[in-house]
Structure 1
């Protein structure tokens, strides 16, 4: 079991992002406002410009320059580039990209990570001729030794923790970079089934109070975890999930509590964007969560809700991070056309958009009917609230989960009726904890109408007077 201490440090100021998207709805009658349904996306023309866009231009002390062609140096450098005043830039082997050249002159220190085989002498020469920075190169005989030498430049013996991940893949180490930067500890990598001599020597020097292994036994073997025990007087913990996405969530749960200022999203299969995103997350004392390119798994969406952040950023253009994923479209939902993508509906309902959790399931693409009308006392609402969508007789099925948000305390109940061209298609009774699944044949239907008739609602709280249609869509 992992200890429950929260190692997140509130040691950085955060510049709030302006988030695009639908109105934000709360997840309960008395809960705080929910997280933004849409993530603000940041990306450039290529991986080099994207990393440069993530720079914290308000604090330029040390720039870490790593190859943008291989992942190994970047995942360990991210732990240092996520420190206050530091930033991470990617480069091609032979020439510093224009996006980096434009800003690198503002830095007092530049650390080139890796040997001349990954960042050439020509890059260093350009830096020497065009900046006033103190330039150093940190390199080892391999990726593992490079990681140890980076650690030696920044950490003294007695560190509180060392994060250990495989150096043969990038996903687990990406999650480590944000945590390491936030908590001020190094990231070291191993081949998976052994501990390199350079890593052993650095662990002896660091004498950590504990060691945390990221990833399952397929990534860092049980024997390696046992061997690591000799380097610390504290525990050797392991944090992992069934895949890279669940591992990132497990890391977030272990090290970050609700109320983080920022959550960074990146594709779990696009390491260049994720390397820069991890450093950015670290500078904001916040986690990095990984998702597939085109959707967000349910457990990642639920983790975002647990974190209760107000600033949500996704890194990458359409090729690496789609707009659907930025909208937190659930991977479990499958391909469909959401009602929020159709023309605005007509009707008398106070109509809202946002997200909701019902019966423990998170629905990111949600429309909602509010029956709220300010009065001084509770009242019955015998008449229905309705909205009508034009389908143009071009759709085959209408699917949604309709219900009341978890945590609603108003006692709201609602009868939900669905009509196709004024012909009744289905009637459903819903209450807190008892949503209804709707799956209806709408072939030939021109106008789809949804009517909610609600009762026992709160007279003073709109949160307690809202009926949600989770992931409402047509096929």
Structure 2
């Protein structure tokens, strides 16, 4: 087993710090982490790795992805870094970066609602020439950016409502000088269709990237592309693109980015595109697939975009070999979502999610609220989550039940979730002869009419073991 040197470049208050540490891995792979205290610090670290001077820069909104995700081919054309800013004013760190690089020309991507005229004025007061590229919406803006890339012989078409596929193609598009244009799930703007038709009519390539999770199949058929990447997940599409375009890319170095946000990967796409390196999207479900790609591609340098808060040392260790970082289930977190409530026998029940945080700081989505054909399998209004004694499972309540709530369980390793029993309350018994079983308060009916609530000891499979009666005082016996 060989040691792999892990270098961390982080920018704090405009100063680059280089920190060296070691992790274990199966192969001789160098790891460079480009990170800062926030997305601006990470952007500074990325820029310092690629540019000491630049006449041009591309400026995008740090929190609004639709316009920004199309900018990597433009950045490549002018050998320019992609810099981030707030919408209302030029951030201090970006101002400093512009001065350090000696930038003379800036492309602002997006209208004044995305990057305000105040930012434009700030730049002009610095003596910088500004060109704003924008349209009435994200789709028109993507076309305006595309037209800055002269005489392309191909174009990538991706969803304008999700950023992952655009980030997957960004360094490839930059290397090939293929523009990135946007469409919606259910519609192709006429202007975009006209543009792709022009590319096809000149024997160019029109490559649609997006599966049914982001694009309607009818929309893809309207475009009639020369190539389609419609694998079932963003991760599969990402790896398929890298595999198919490996001859146009330099796979001795790869960049890896978390799927949690677009800013780090977007900043990194300019550097990756400059050097012809791919960006690999990383989530909890595809670590082994990324490891396989790195292994058979003979990758020698892995550049990590972002700090450990977005991509942990454990995940990086998994990608390049055997993990040397302890990773244990730590905390259960319930998160509200913007999804519509679930309709159940008790009416509309809020949609939420159950997440698990690990000791290394990573987190994983285990259960999302969902509908089902069988009433007992509906999950919504998730509450009262508890670990099993061995911390291999999590029990939780779901409000989606006709006369009471229900108890469900999810296996942490397999992510499989199923109904255990009905119940208005439960807890996992920690000690004594019944340790590992559950105490559940259940609503029952008398044959002659009426109903009652009793406490029961129930097995992890939902089988009743003992009736404890209707008094909550019995709970103290099983603390």
| Residue 123 of structure 1: how far off its partner (Å) | 0.5
Structure 1: unaligned runs, 5 residues or longer: 1-16, 26-33, 230-234, 339-395, 397-475
Matched, 1:290 2:286: no
RMSD: 2.9
For 1:184, the equivalent position in structure 2 comes to 177
Deviation track 1:284-331 (CA, whole Å, cap 9, x = no partner) reads 101110112x68621111111222222211111122111212223599
**Alignment of structure 1 residues 92-171 onto 2, 5 Å:** 92-105=86-99, 106-131=102-127, 133-156=128-151, 159-171=152-164
Matched, 1:44 2:45: no
Which residue of 43, 46, 49 corresponds with 1:54? 46
Query: Are the counterparts in 2 of residues 261 and 284 from structure 1 also a CA contact under 8 Å?
Result: no
**Alignment of structure 1 residues 249-260 onto 2, 5 Å:** 249-257=239-247, 260=251
Matched, 1:86 2:80: yes
**Number of corresponding residues:** 305
Deviation track 1:175-194 (CA, whole Å, cap 9, x = no partner) reads 01111001111111100222
For 1:236, the equivalent position in structure 2 comes to 226
SS at structure 2 position matched to 1:328: helix
Q: Distance in 1 between matches of 2:269 and 2:212?
A: 23
Structure 2: unaligned runs, 5 residues or longer: 1-17, 329-389, 391-479
**Alignment of structure 1 residues 434-449 onto 2, 5 Å:** none
| Residue 148 of structure 1: how far off its partner (Å) | 0.2
| Structure 1 residues 321 and 20: CA distance shift in structure 2, 3 A | same
Which residue of 247, 250, 264 corresponds with 1:273? 264
For 1:421, the equivalent position in structure 2 comes to none
**TM-score of the two chains, using structure 2 as the length reference:** 0.59
Query: Are the counterparts in 2 of residues 295 and 330 from structure 1 also a CA contact under 8 Å?
Result: no
| Residue 278 of structure 1: how far off its partner (Å) | 2.1
For 1:369, the equivalent position in structure 2 comes to none
SS at structure 2 position matched to 1:327: helix
| Residue 127 of structure 1: how far off its partner (Å) | 0.3
Q: With CA pairs under 8 Å and 6+ residues apart, which has the higher RCO, 1 or 2?
A: 1
Query: Are the counterparts in 2 of residues 82 and 181 from structure 1 also a CA contact under 8 Å?
Result: yes
Q: Distance in 2 between matches of 1:92 and 1:54?
A: 18
Deviation track 1:66-97 (CA, whole Å, cap 9, x = no partner) reads 10111111111123224462110111011111
For 1:200, the equivalent position in structure 2 comes to 193
Query: Are the counterparts in 2 of residues 295 and 328 from structure 1 also a CA contact under 8 Å?
Result: no
| Residue 39 of structure 1: how far off its partner (Å) | 2.7
SS at structure 2 position matched to 1:178: helix
For 1:264, the equivalent position in structure 2 comes to 255
Q: Distance in 1 between matches of 2:233 and 2:58?
A: 29
Higher strand share: 2
Q: Distance in 2 between matches of 1:165 and 1:244?
A: 11
| Residue 259 of structure 1: how far off its partner (Å) | 5.7
| Structure 1 residues 263 and 163: CA distance shift in structure 2, 3 A | same
| Residue 198 of structure 1: how far off its partner (Å) | 2.7
Which residue of 63, 85, 91 corresponds with 1:69? 63
Which residue of 269, 289, 300 corresponds with 1:299? 289
| Residue 58 of structure 1: how far off its partner (Å) | 3.7
Q: Distance in 1 between matches of 2:160 and 2:66?
A: 6
| Residue 59 of structure 1: how far off its partner (Å) | 5.0
| Residue 173 of structure 1: how far off its partner (Å) | 0.9
Which residue of 305, 316, 321 corresponds with 1:326? 316
**TM-score of the two chains, using structure 1 as the length reference:** 0.59
Q: Distance in 1 between matches of 2:194 and 2:238?
A: 28
